[in-house]
Amino acid sequence: MLEEKDVTGKAPDIEEVCPVRVDGPTSKRVAGRRFLEPGVLPGSPTPNHVGFPFDTGLHGRAYALPMIEILDNLDVLYQPHLDLATVEMGRVALGAPAAGVPRRSITEAQSSMVARYRGGTDVDSEYYDADGGRLTLDEVIDHTVRSDGFLYCADQLTYKVRAGTVVGFAIYGSPLSHFAHLTSYEELLDAFGRPDRAREDEAYGDLMGYDNYYWGARKHVRWDAWDGRVSLINLGAFEGNSGP
């Protein structure tokens, strides 16, 4: 299927990286494990703010707790309350520079410099600027990691970028086979809990699915009513994830 979009004037929704943020937490690896060091996270006015993933320990000395790699611990996504400062996806943490997303894994990108997009199944993606000039994928990626947009990866992961910083994760497709044992919406509710907000998605009178929002984890879980499966989970700065 060939897809072509005119996106003129539409701003997009909006191996180890150390430091992860110049003015925030830094990540380091000790004995093969990643740890988060003190810093100021988005939404936290001071270091060691409530929910920050480290403690003062004895004699006021700080020690860090290990970061949770979501792809190795998908069960963590069941939690209705999740401190996003403690998780990473593909070894990239929220608050990390978008340039830290491994470029070899990026298959598509979207940013405000793209006015028209052409692509689809088994069709190479094409990007054009407002003047009709052809853009390369590398040019679009370079712009995205310095501004706002999305980085789409081959392993069915997406990173949302704002001002050059990773602010959201999205998981879809084959990684969500982890939840294939959930065969009904009721089973999803039993597993993930009752959401803070649930929205029915209907088209032409047919129920397409449910969008469940868990504000304590800044999480959106999408149930596909046609296929009877979890089809999307995103975390972070996506619409609806932080409450009304």
Residues 51, 37, 62, 43, Cα dihedral to 10°: -30
pLDDT the model gives residue 6: 52
Other CB atoms within 10 Å distance of the CB of residue 98 = 25
Q: Give the whole-angstrom CA distance, residue 98 versus residue 166.
A: 5
Among 183, 171, 205, CA closest to 87: 171
What is residue 32's predicted lDDT score, i.e. its pLDDT?
Answer: 40
**Contact by Cβ (8 Å): 208, 190:** no
* Whole-number pLDDT of residue 244: 77
Instruction: Write out the two tokens for 52.
Output: 């920050």
Cross-strand bridge partners of residue 204: none
Model pLDDT, residue 195: 97
What's the Rg (C-alpha) of the chain? Answer: 19
- pTM of the complete model: 0.75
| Whether the Cβ atoms of residue 233 and residue 221 lie closer than 8 Å to each other | yes
**For position 4, what pLDDT does the model report?**
52
The encoded tokens of residue 218 equal: 């800044």
Per-residue pLDDT tens listing for the chain (244 residues):
445 555 544 433 433 322 223 333 444 443 344 444 444 344 433 333 333 344 434 444 444 568 999 999 999 999 999 999 999 999 999 999 999 999 999 999 999 999 999 987 778 899 999 999 999 999 999 999 999 999 999 999 999 999 999 999 999 999 999 999 999 999 999 999 999 999 999 999 999 999 999 999 999 999 999 999 999 999 999 999 998 7
Residue ranges per structural domain of the chain: 2-15+97-170, 27-93, 173-236
Distance of CA 87 to the CA centre of its chain: 11
